[in-house]
Amino acid sequence: MNRRRARVFLINWTLAVVATVCAFVVHLAMRGNTVSLGYELGKARSEQARLREVKRVLELESASYKTPERVEIVARSLLGMEPPVPERIVSVGQKPIPIEEHAKAP
């Protein structure tokens, strides 16, 4: 009977050690996964901060493009536009004067 008790104890002890090792391995795997997710989260947060900064810069740039001064600079430098000559200006509500008649006027 003593041998049987030793055998049962050895089996139970072996199962306990195996269960402990399995639990430790699972714990290490979960810990590794947690650390990996932490790094990914840090990268995602830094990317989010970078994109917010880019958005802020682009909004400022967009606002600067809408100012009349900026429109005039672009029109003159990039597009080669000039202010219209007085003959080309037509007031709203008046009929345009033909160019021939405009040239005859003193």
Burial letters 26-54, b for 16+ CB under 10 A, else e: eeeeeeeeeeeeeeeeeeeeeeeeeeeee
**pTM exceeds 0.85:** no
Q: What percent of the chain has pLDDT over 70?
A: 88
At residue 76 the predicted structure's pLDDT band, cuts being 50, 70 and 90, is confident
At residue 97 the predicted structure's pLDDT band, cuts being 50, 70 and 90, is low
pLDDT of 25 above 60: yes
For the ranges 16-30, 56-70, 76-90, the one whose mean pLDDT is highest: 16-30
